[in-house]
Amino acid sequence: MDSTLPMKRIEIVIDAGKLEELIGLLMEAGAKGYTVIRKAGGLGSRGKRSPDVVLCDEGNAVVILACKEDQAARIAQGLRPRLKKFGGMCLISNCEWLEGPAASY
């Protein structure tokens, strides 16, 4: 039977223009992998954002990753002041990583 590893799942919604800065922060904190979903829309502190509008608005990006608890703490520590500065949201929850081939954690 395959085993699982306890991890933290981090989901970050951020203005697409701040994506490179966020990825830099993740790398500094020791993240070994992440997934980016561009052109996300929704309703939040910056109002409604539609991925279908083709004006100058770049929209949001969603970044998802799973990491060990100490990495999640470093990411949260570095991210907190930046989120206060440029908005967005971050959710951190417990998850299980299904062990398989070489992992990015």
The rounded distance, in Å, linking the Cα atoms of 95 and 86 is: 28
Split at pLDDT 50, 70, 90, the class of 1 is: very low
Backbone phi, then psi, for 32, in 5-degree steps?
Answer: -110, 0
Q: Which of 99, 77, 101 is nearest to 90 (CA)?
A: 77
The pLDDT, as a whole number, for residue 91 is 97
Q: 94 with 9: CB under 8 angstroms?
A: yes
SS3 69: helix
Whole-prediction pTM: 0.85
